[in-house]
Structure 1
Amino acid sequence: MWRLALRNALAHRARLALTLIAVILGVTFVTGSLVLTDTSQRLLDDQFRTATAGVDLTVRDAAAFDSAMGVEVERDPLPPTVVDQIRTVPGVATASPVVRGSGLLSTDKTAGGKAIVPSGSSLLASWEPAPVGAFTLRAGRPPAADDEIVIDAATAEGHHIALGDTITVQAERTAGLRVVGLAGFGGAAGLPGSTVGLVNLPTAQRLLGLGDGVTEVAVIAAEDIDPQQLQNRVAAALGTEYAVAASRDIAAASADAAKTQVAYLQLMLLALAAAALLVGAFLIANTFSIVITQRTREIAVLRAAGATGGQVLRSVLGEAFLVGITASIAGVGLGVATAAWLRSLAGAFGITLPDGGLIVAPRTVIIAFLVGIGVTIVSAIGPARRAATVAPVEAMRLSSASAATGGRARTVIGWIMTGLGAAGLTAVIAGPRSSVGLIAPVGAAAISVIVGLVLLGPAVTPTLARLIGRPLDAAGVPGRLARESAARAPRRTAATALALAIGLALISFMTVLATSIKASVASSYKEVISADYVIESARNEMLGGLSHHVHHHVSELAEVAVASRLRYGHWKDGEATRALTAVDPATLPEVASPRMVAGGLNALSGGGIVLAESVARQRHLAVGDSLPMTFSLTGTQRIPVVGLMLDRDAHALSTDYLISLDTFSENYREHVDASVFVKIANGVSDVAAKKAINGVLADYPTAQLRDQAAAVAGRTLMIDQVLGMVTALLMLTILIAALGITNTLALSIMERTREIGLLRAVGMTGGQMRWMIRGEAVLIAALAIVLGVGMGIAFAAGTVAALGSAIEAPLVLPVGRLLIIVTVAALAGLLAGLLPARRAARLDVLTAIAAS
């Protein structure tokens, strides 16, 4: 039977070709996702290991935690006495002071230069020779004088900077420095998405405003000393005020923090890969179902010759196995190439990933083969079982038409599942807003609807096809025949349409949900924020990235009445990490109008915290209670609750937790602002105010003056980036589904060869035949559009309602984008019918009539 499976697969290779392509695309997606994330994680590990390769221990100021939400926390600088103290510890061979911080590079202004603003960090550090320093000279020499700098070779090449050129470095202080060297990082020309400036220690301290302090101390153990033993000695000598850690542990922790974004990307890519495979599974099952139906006489002969049902089952599954393994081999190869494309795609949508050689782990290959073979075999089980359970005599008498609509039990279960899912979604949408959210019930309801439609499809497809296909009657006889043809094969039509419908549902869901969230953000921001302008970092950094000098200079302008700043910070809530917003309670009411439920905003001046109403309800807190919060700098503090704010208004200020700037300064080392809200003075025109503010911002290249529309766009930029990337990737599911339409129609033409010959014999022209097949393809696409877009909108409506108080906005339907989705799907259906229509029109009439 295995030899028979191989012969059947080769004999019907044309019928299985498009199925093979669908599986290849799904495996390619899975492989590419795993290769990309494995490569990014390995490169991050290598990057941080390289940074600490020659150092045994690193001494820093103590902190309660090292990073939060993928961002390293800042620490207080170390006094120079600590360096001397470390050097006296027995077993220390070298103790080198290290300074690093943020310093923006600008090319020579006298030559019309401009700021170099990378997508990542702008690193300014003290030059340290190997083995302490991770950077190695590629040209020139190390910086010796206070006016000299070494920059990374990648930045020099990208911005045409040569040895001897003068560049400006802007940190806490600004200075013009002469480039005396170009450095590389390991085998790379620089750090991915970053600029690097290396100066001598005194210059780094001066530019970063550290006085004689240092960021950390790099310690190298003597040859005969165990690093763990030395770590214990240094820790005992310094006490608990300082953290002494193995450099390899710090490298691993830093890499783990940087991998946070990569982990989110991997989850998203694998979810989309699963969607692509699900759509492909419909195509596989449909193809095998049609092929088995067309081979009923062949199967009957096998049964009559003594083949058992089990042998027939194994034969069909053997064909599926051959398709799966062939597709997996091709998919793994294409997946490696696709990983590079996915990295470029992520970069195009603002997700920067490290660049380097691709890594294909054995696990990736194993998973790809398991997925490719597993999905193909599982999808073919249903058709294989039907083939194995048909009696020989019955199979001899069966025609090859596929008009089955499914059993009564299947239909009843389908109605029940669909009804339960629809009822669940309706209950969430029509029910009261929940502050906790009902996402899980919405997901369960969505799954119930999809499963119900899969079971119910064959039963309702004839009615839907005749109803939705009525416009085809305008095309005359070919249109009516297309409608009836789709209705006569409900199982085939339903499976093909549902494959496309799932892809359309996902795209519609993401589009409607993203639009609704953006509308909510814009609405709440405009309601709460009354400032004329907001100044923010053009890079939209998580913690702000706006120099505190900006607020100082802007607030001194005569054209500005009020300048109120915000800062963001992270804190530990048990094992979870949360964000908070720091505000100035004295000036915030002049640029915003947040509504309080209890307490008052001015009470923040006493060192308390204001919570969003839903958070207080979840935690059972009221004004007068206290909230334990762990800060990296000061450890666990109990902060008194002094007020409760409407959720919508708190979200306009970005988080559910608000403290004062004074409280922030007591518990955080970071001193960068996230936003500066500006209210212009009475009698000052917008033109004059913008000119004055932009004049101040000229010295701060990353600071950007925005009106309300631009500020909202900055806050929703990530939503647009994710939506754009997800939509681009989901188009793969549309492609697979379109292949399904092509495959189904191509196979149905083989099935209907005699019928096509008779139609041509009674006078149907080749052009009419082409229109009939194309009309059937468009009808299948129309069925998918109605089901898919309808499901997508319903699921989005349920999700918006389930988010409760987090999204206090009505469902927003982006009609323009939805029309684009509908148009693309309709065109995909039309294009999918071109090849089958051409083949049907070119069939020889006499040969077709003679076909059995």
Structure 2
Amino acid sequence: MLNMWRISWRNVTLNKKRFFFSLLGIIIGVAFITSMLIADKTTNEVFKYYEQMYVANADYWLLSDEQTFSEDNVSAKLNNTMVTESLFVLDKQAFIDLSDKSLNQRSVRITGVNDQNSSLLKLPVIEGSLDNEGLIIPDVLANLLNKKVGDTIQFSNLGEAKISAIVEYTQLLASPSNWEGAKSASFRVMAPLSMLREWTSMDNELSYIRLQTNEEGEQLFQSLQQELKDTNVYIQPVVADDRQSNDIGGLYTFFYLIAGLSMLISGFIVFNMIYTSVMERKKEFAIMKSFGYLQASISKLVLIEVILMSLIGTIIGIPIGIWLGDIFMQTLLSVFDFDMVYTLNWKIPTVVAIVIGIGFPIIFSLFPIYNAGKTSVLLTLKMGNHTDSLKRQYVFRGIVGVGLLTFIFIDHFVSYLAILASIILLFPFLLKGISKIFKPIFKVFLGYSGILSTHNLTKQLNRNANTSAILAIGIAVILLLSSVIESAPEGYESEIRNTYGGDIRITSEAPWSSEDITTLFSYDSIANVVPLTEATPITWKTINEEDRQFSIFAINDNGPALFEDSGKDSLYLDLQEEPTILLGKRAFDEWGGKVGEYMNVNTPSGKQKIKVIDVVDTSHYSGYVGFMDEGHLNNEFGWKNSFDMLLTLNNKYNGEQLRDQLWKDFNGHLSKVKTVEDEIKSTTSALSGMNELILIMLFLIIALASIGTANTLLMNTLERTSEIGTMRAIGFTRQQVRKMVIGEGLLIGLAGVIGGVVSGMILLYVISKSKLLGDFISFQMPINNIGVALIAGLLLSLFASWIASTTASKTNILSSLKEG
């Protein structure tokens, strides 16, 4: 057995350059897979971590549809053995006292709590301590203000307090990291409740109360639901669900797509090497069989060769993948607005990557392994002509390829896979076509060597075409992703403008009075003012009885357009008939039910079963939202008040011009000013940042495919050793041999790049015309990334060709002629 492993090791390392490039392909493939699995797992853990940090150990919370409520009204209800801990919270909008910044940049949300050390809070302290005497501020605010523990912050018209602790990012104190971001989002700090009450004279007021209960907490929840039914206070379970603020589902698809691409390319490199090795050793296998070796023994010998390569590639690739995963996470999280921290979750992904790393080279090599064992002694020794067989293969590939290409007329997900398969099958014809087109050009620049390179390309047409096709598929998929990311902001912008309901949304800490509305209408810049009622947070259950949380907007046929649907008028009428709900698409998918079924909702009036009558498209919270008729939301549902206004501006004005004036006129109770441009920017900023990742992935995928090109060229030149020796003997120079091989590599790379761009355009066209994604993705090619693909593809192919040409040019004339 040990002897067989030694033989396999000798065979696999017989050609060191080919072994090196095949091994490099496995290493990079394993590294990619490892890094993407780590990125997937770590990203998921990061957002779960911050969800749990926000929830802490709280089970329920008491809230109000009037923003604040009296502590006296609920304190008696909390004197219950089922309540093990409570946290009293008051929120108040204020302004940091800074002379060189605008009001909106200075706005800050102060959260007063009665116990900063409560287990119902999770505050990751960087510096200082939670002493219940001073302010707790996030590190981004400390950096902007250049403050440290012990320094003081002055709040306009309130007071001054020292900083007792600086903390890492947490949702409760999420703050903008720069002054530009502060124009559209308030800073957040935490203060002792007694201090905030003293400053504001809100001695008995609370915004909410967090509760921790024992095992009988569900009984308390049900009893309080009944007791609070007709009051302005309601109880909700505390649910770890931040889907309204984070839509990262698409990231996971991106991770697995890149991992799959890298595995496909690496697997093809291994297949090429093993298949060529098997073809080269047909005589050897035939002789072995004539001496009594069984089919299984020969297949086992080749299998051990693959296992050796996969083991070495995996051992080297895993640590590189962990390092890449860390870099990828740093780049990925930098596209979000907040300074998140993470712990790299590498253990489980590493185990999975090891299994995949060892397994995928074996899977891709199964055919050549089987083929080695099936070697026929007589046919191999006769060395028959396979020209007719190859012609039949090309005809078969052409017929099947054209047949699969007809899937461009079928609107289904399977069509995309069929198109990719057709591209691979038709690539020999594309390669031959490009070879003929560029033959005159190669003749001019490379002379007779250029003519030979176009001729040699067809000697191993299948292998060369497959190498080029793999490069094309990688480029096509990455360009498609890039195009989606570039066109998505336009789709989002259109959807946001159509469903935002106005040009500016302003939020108050108290219900808007008629005097406030009159003041708003007095502005020359404002064309219309309409109230927006948002019930939040509202918890509900999925079909699988999992707790979720979102907002529900009140709508009516005379109100602002908050969603897109062709049958809006009939939907409004249906909603008015009885308490029913419309769901945004993302909320509907998460719920898991069907239109016409009932969802369980914890309303301010208690638990209710509400019928879902349709699914609509909306930009609000990325579709993770519901809509109800205004009358039913106010009455049966139990949400009475509105704290938001939607402002529509006259054509010659924009939101930035009005923002400062709104803060000045309503600074006593205004808590947020958000323009439609702010919403567009916050929604699309992460997508814009992802384009940098796409460029990196594009380059790396091309680099991986170029390793396959180098490997293929090495195999081509090794098979033509005798031919190259003859050419050298009759006067061909080393330089001419090198040019010939470089020409072959350039044609493979050129075909791959051109084929990739064309394939990407075909895929993008088909997707842009589909009913599923057509409204979201427009047909536009990412010109910058196409330029990167062309340059990187040609340069890396040139580099791969140069490596192979160096080997070819060093061919020993005498030994090669002896082999012939």
TM-score range for the pair, normalised by the shorter chain length: 0.7 to 0.9
**Which moved further from structure 2: 464-473 or 27-36?**
464-473
Contact 1:608 1:640 in 2 (8 A): no
1:421 Cα deviation after fit: 2.8
Q: Which residue, out of 625, 633, 652, partners 2:603?
A: 633
* Structure 1 pair 705–191 and aligned structure 2 pair: CA distance change class (3 A): closer
Q: Which residue, out of 337, 359, 365, partners 1:374?
A: 359
Contact 1:150 1:198 in 2 (8 A): yes
Which whole-Å CA distance do the structure 1 matches of 2:386 and 2:645 have between them? 63
Aligned residue number for residue 621 of structure 1: none
Is structure 2 residue 452 aligned with structure 1 residue 481? yes
Which whole-Å CA distance do the structure 2 matches of 1:189 and 1:631 have between them? 25
Query: C-alpha offsets along residues 701-758 of structure 1, whole Å, 9 cap, x if unaligned?
Result: 9756577xx8766654454444553453344322211111112112322222332233
* Structure 1 pair 631–238 and aligned structure 2 pair: CA distance change class (3 A): closer
Is structure 2 residue 26 aligned with structure 1 residue 23? yes
Aligned AA for 1:478?
Answer: S
Q: Which residue, out of 94, 112, 128, partners 2:115?
A: 128
Contact 1:405 1:458 in 2 (8 A): no
Contact 2:112 2:190 in 1 (8 A): yes
Contact 2:87 2:211 in 1 (8 A): yes
1:403-482 to 2 correspondence within 5 Å?
A: 406=390, 408=392, 414-415=397-398, 417-428=400-411, 441=412, 443-455=413-425, 457=427, 461-462=431-432, 465-467=435-437, 471-475=441-445, 476-482=447-453
**Which moved further from structure 2: 42-51 or 446-455?**
42-51
Is structure 2 residue 76 aligned with structure 1 residue 84? yes
Aligned AA for 2:317?
Answer: G
Aligned residue number for residue 717 of structure 2: 749
Query: C-alpha offsets along residues 12-71 of structure 1, whole Å, 9 cap, x if unaligned?
Result: 443122222222222222222333443455566666666777x6x6442499xxxxxxxx
Aligned residue number for residue 364 of structure 1: 349
Which whole-Å CA distance do the structure 2 matches of 1:796 and 1:284 have between them? 30
Aligned residue number for residue 4 of structure 1: 7
**Which moved further from structure 2: 497-506 or 349-358?**
349-358
* Structure 1 pair 307–455 and aligned structure 2 pair: CA distance change class (3 A): farther
* Structure 1 pair 116–270 and aligned structure 2 pair: CA distance change class (3 A): farther
Aligned residue number for residue 67 of structure 1: none
Contact 1:405 1:491 in 2 (8 A): no
* Structure 1 pair 75–295 and aligned structure 2 pair: CA distance change class (3 A): farther
Q: Secondary structure at the match of 2:603?
A: coil
1:530 Cα deviation after fit: 12
Aligned AA for 1:98?
Answer: F
1:843 Cα deviation after fit: 4.0
Contact 1:454 1:498 in 2 (8 A): yes
Q: Secondary structure at the match of 1:285?
A: helix
Contact 2:532 2:643 in 1 (8 A): no
Which whole-Å CA distance do the structure 2 matches of 1:748 and 1:402 have between them? 18
Which whole-Å CA distance do the structure 2 matches of 1:29 and 1:80 have between them? 59
Which whole-Å CA distance do the structure 2 matches of 1:846 and 1:320 have between them? 33
* Structure 1 pair 15–238 and aligned structure 2 pair: CA distance change class (3 A): same
Q: Which residue, out of 816, 820, 828, partners 2:796?
A: 828
1:467-616 to 2 correspondence within 5 Å?
A: 467=437, 471-475=441-445, 476-515=447-486, 517-520=488-491, 534-535=503-504, 555-563=521-529, 575=543, 588=560, 598=569
Aligned residue number for residue 340 of structure 1: 326
Aligned residue number for residue 281 of structure 2: 295
Which whole-Å CA distance do the structure 2 matches of 1:376 and 1:451 have between them? 20
| Structure 2: 5+ residue stretches without partners | 178-186, 230-235, 590-594
Which whole-Å CA distance do the structure 1 matches of 2:671 and 2:82 have between them? 47
Contact 2:153 2:162 in 1 (8 A): yes
Contact 1:103 1:123 in 2 (8 A): yes
Q: Which residue, out of 295, 298, 303, partners 1:309?
A: 295
Q: Using the aligned pairs only, state the percent identity.
A: 16
Which whole-Å CA distance do the structure 1 matches of 2:373 and 2:566 have between them? 69
* Structure 1 pair 559–801 and aligned structure 2 pair: CA distance change class (3 A): closer
Q: Secondary structure at the match of 1:167?
A: strand
* Structure 1 pair 282–257 and aligned structure 2 pair: CA distance change class (3 A): same
Which whole-Å CA distance do the structure 2 matches of 1:127 and 1:669 have between them? 28
Which whole-Å CA distance do the structure 2 matches of 1:606 and 1:193 have between them? 44
Q: Secondary structure at the match of 2:307?
A: helix
* Structure 1 pair 427–178 and aligned structure 2 pair: CA distance change class (3 A): same
Contact 1:563 1:677 in 2 (8 A): yes
Q: Which residue, out of 791, 796, 805, partners 1:837?
A: 805
Contact 1:516 1:810 in 2 (8 A): yes
Is structure 2 residue 757 aligned with structure 1 residue 792? no
Q: Which residue, out of 67, 72, 89, partners 1:99?
A: 89
1:638 Cα deviation after fit: 6.0
Which whole-Å CA distance do the structure 1 matches of 2:584 and 2:140 have between them? 49
Aligned AA for 2:215?
Answer: Q
1:372 Cα deviation after fit: 1.0
Query: C-alpha offsets along residues 126-168 of structure 1, whole Å, 9 cap, x if unaligned?
Result: 1515453544875367344xxx523246753575213454436
**Which moved further from structure 2: 150-159 or 188-197?**
188-197
Q: Secondary structure at the match of 2:146?
A: coil
Q: Secondary structure at the match of 2:205?
A: coil
Query: C-alpha offsets along residues 490-518 of structure 1, whole Å, 9 cap, x if unaligned?
Result: 12102211210110120232244455555
Aligned residue number for residue 233 of structure 2: none
Query: C-alpha offsets along residues 653-694 of structure 1, whole Å, 9 cap, x if unaligned?
Result: 9869866777767766997769744225xxxx659x954544
Aligned residue number for residue 437 of structure 1: none
Q: Secondary structure at the match of 2:331?
A: helix
Which whole-Å CA distance do the structure 1 matches of 2:228 and 2:469 have between them? 61
Contact 2:282 2:372 in 1 (8 A): yes
* Structure 1 pair 234–427 and aligned structure 2 pair: CA distance change class (3 A): closer
Contact 1:2 1:318 in 2 (8 A): yes
Contact 1:466 1:487 in 2 (8 A): no
Contact 1:769 1:837 in 2 (8 A): yes
Which whole-Å CA distance do the structure 2 matches of 1:187 and 1:716 have between them? 22
Contact 2:92 2:110 in 1 (8 A): yes
Is structure 2 residue 248 aligned with structure 1 residue 265? no
1:273 Cα deviation after fit: 0.5
Is structure 2 residue 750 aligned with structure 1 residue 782? yes
1:109 Cα deviation after fit: 0.6
Aligned residue number for residue 208 of structure 2: 215
* Structure 1 pair 628–772 and aligned structure 2 pair: CA distance change class (3 A): same
Is structure 2 residue 754 aligned with structure 1 residue 802? no
Q: Secondary structure at the match of 2:458?
A: helix
**Which moved further from structure 2: 384-393 or 314-323?**
384-393
Query: C-alpha offsets along residues 274-312 of structure 1, whole Å, 9 cap, x if unaligned?
Result: 121012111111122223333344434433443233222
1:780 Cα deviation after fit: 0.8
**Which moved further from structure 2: 349-358 or 289-298?**
349-358
Which whole-Å CA distance do the structure 2 matches of 1:112 and 1:673 have between them? 25
**Which moved further from structure 2: 371-380 or 826-835?**
826-835
Contact 1:530 1:593 in 2 (8 A): no
**Which moved further from structure 2: 283-292 or 651-660?**
651-660
Aligned residue number for residue 179 of structure 1: 162
1:774 Cα deviation after fit: 2.1
Taking structure 1 as the reference length, what is the TM-score of the superposition? 0.74
1:661-810 to 2 correspondence within 5 Å?
A: 676-680=647-651, 691-696=657-662, 703=673, 716-803=684-771, 807=775
Which whole-Å CA distance do the structure 2 matches of 1:216 and 1:463 have between them? 73
Contact 1:154 1:190 in 2 (8 A): no
**Which moved further from structure 2: 278-287 or 698-707?**
698-707
Q: Secondary structure at the match of 1:182?
A: strand
* Structure 1 pair 241–402 and aligned structure 2 pair: CA distance change class (3 A): farther
